[in-house]
Amino acid sequence: MSYGKSLPEAMASVLKGNIDGYSISKMSKSDQEFLFGLVSSIKPKNCLEVGVYSGGSSSIILEAIKDIEDSFLIGVDISPKHPYLVDNDIGFVVKDNFPYLSDKYRVHSGKDVSELIDDFGVKFDFALIDTAHMHPCETLNLISILPYMKSDSWIVIHDIGMFYCQDNRIQSRDKFASKYIFDCWQGERLTSEKCEFFTIPNIGAIKVENVEDNLERLISLLFNRWDMEVDDTILDSVRKIIQKHYSVANVEMFDRIIARKKYISALVKKEQNDKKRMVNKVKRYVKSILNL
Ligand SMILES: C[S@@+](CC[C@H](N)C(=O)[O-])C[C@H]1O[C@@H](n2cnc3c(N)ncnc32)[C@H](O)[C@@H]1O
């Protein structure tokens, strides 16, 4: 079954635009249509988006649920303001361009989803994860939201093909985070048929099932090399979620991995400092000889 569905023309045209050179939507046309088609077909009421940016994908989800009674979308973005258009709020495109969708939309910016999700007090029928694309960001996002998803609900994961880019842009070489979680998922999965940017699908969806088994696999993914630093406050709030909703064995595995990451990161920092000290020592020595 194909999930692609064309967006209303007015919305497609806004999402094609850019402001000061920054594209409003971070999704290709086929990715937008996959998202719109899937949400239109599953008709969720309680929706969550992690990684909002300008609000392009929020607009698509809201358009798909606008006629469903009591439906809503909660958007969460770690950045307090738009990362590039710093005078703009996260998700500003909805209010500015599609005000008729605003009453179903709430945005929480400046915090990680793990710090917020328990307070929302709902279980979600649908979620989109589209965040840093660097491991372990998406893995931590998915671990955090899983207990708050209804069973058999769907989670869309964007940029699963971003690591594979035809033009070999340097910035994409560490963008494996979405691929990791999509590939490790045991259960029903969907992908778009194509993507204009890459030669492989770049958006997929996973069905929430076999949660304990999948959680174990996700925690194990944290052993893989991390391509970004994660604040201790975020690691603590993810741990609280694991402790509240999953088995003791999973908490212990999480603790073991984090302790090892911290140990390795301390070793790397020490090595870097030792190298710096050695270089400075050599510089001082050469300088002293030259002064002679
Ligand atoms: C690729 S953009 C999202 C694009 C948006 N979904 C769309 O298609 O229009 C990534 C966003 O994720 C946010 N982000 C990065 N790490 C995050 C995290 N751990 N939690 C929530 N948001 C995060 C960034 O601030 C940025 O706004």
For 139-186, write each residue's pLDDT tens digit.
999 999 999 999 999 999 999 988 876 555 555 667 889 999 999 999
CA angle, residues 159, 163, 164, in degrees to nearest 5: 105
Q: What are phi and psi of 247, to 5 degrees?
A: -75, 160
The per-residue pLDDT for 203 is: 95
Is 256 among the domain residues?
no
Separation of 50 CA from ligand 1 center, angstroms?
7
Separation of 280 CA from ligand 1 center, angstroms?
40
Q: Which domain holds residue 32?
A: 9-223
Is 196 among the domain residues?
yes
Separation of 78 CA from ligand 1 center, angstroms?
7
Mean pLDDT of 244-272: 93
Determine the residue of 34, 78, 88, 133 to mutate for testing ligand 1's pocket, defined as the one with the most ligand atoms within 8 A of the Cβ atom: 78
Look at residue 166 and give its three-state secondary structure. Answer: coil
The per-residue pLDDT for 250 is: 95
The per-residue pLDDT for 15 is: 97
Is 211 among the domain residues?
yes
Per-residue pLDDT for 197 more than 80? no
Q: What are phi and psi of 74, to 5 degrees?
A: -105, 125
Atom of ligand 1 nearest to the CA of 31: 8
Is 45 among the domain residues?
yes
Give the CB-side neighbour count of residue 224, counting CA atoms within 13 A.
Answer: 21
Separation of 75 CA from ligand 1 center, angstroms?
10
State how many domains the chain has.
Answer: 1
Residues in the chain: 292
Determine the residue of 30, 47, 49, 79 to mutate for testing ligand 1's pocket, defined as the one with the most ligand atoms within 8 A of the Cβ atom: 79
Per-residue pLDDT for 224 more than 60? yes
Residue 142: partners with Cβ closer than 8 Å, 6 or more residues away: 129, 155, 181, 218
Separation of 264 CA from ligand 1 center, angstroms?
28
Q: How confident is the model at residue 48 (pLDDT cuts 50, 70, 90)?
A: very high
| DSSP 8-state class, residue 236 | H
The per-residue pLDDT for 171 is: 53
The string of DSSP letters for 134-157 reads STTHHHHHHHHHGGGEEEEEEEEE
Is 285 among the domain residues?
no
Mean pLDDT of 131-141: 96
Q: Which two tokens stand for residue 102?
A: 């605003």
Give percent of the chain above pLDDT 70.
94
Atom of ligand 1 nearest to the CA of 141: 19
Separation of 129 CA from ligand 1 center, angstroms?
8
Which one, of 76, 100, 99, 96, lies nearest residue 88 by Cα?
Answer: 96
More confident residue, 168 or 108: 108
Mean pLDDT of 73-96: 96
* CATH code for the domain of 153: 3.40.50.150
Which one, of 3, 105, 108, lies nearest residue 62 by Cα?
Answer: 105
Is 170 among the domain residues?
yes
The per-residue pLDDT for 200 is: 80
Separation of 54 CA from ligand 1 center, angstroms?
9
Quote the strand ranges of the chain, DSSP E: 18-19, 22-23, 46-50, 72-77, 105-109, 124-129, 149-158, 189-191, 203-207
CA distances 31 to 97, 238, 245, 261, Å, are 20, 29, 32, 34
Count the neighbouring beta carbons within 10 Å of the beta carbon of residue 205: 24
Mean pLDDT of 229-244: 97
Per-residue pLDDT for 216 more than 60? yes
Return mean pLDDT, the chain. Answer: 93
Atom of ligand 1 nearest to the CA of 49: 6
Mean pLDDT of 23-50: 96
Identify the residues whose C-beta falls under 6 Å from ligand 1. 25-27, 50-54, 56-57, 76-79, 83, 112-113, 130-132, 137
Distance CA 228, CA 240 (A): 21
The per-residue pLDDT for 198 is: 67
Going by alpha carbons, the residue nearest to atom 5 of ligand 1 is 52
Going by alpha carbons, the residue nearest to atom 14 of ligand 1 is 131
Is 214 among the domain residues?
yes
Q: What are phi and psi of 120, to 5 degrees?
A: -65, -30
Is 277 among the domain residues?
no
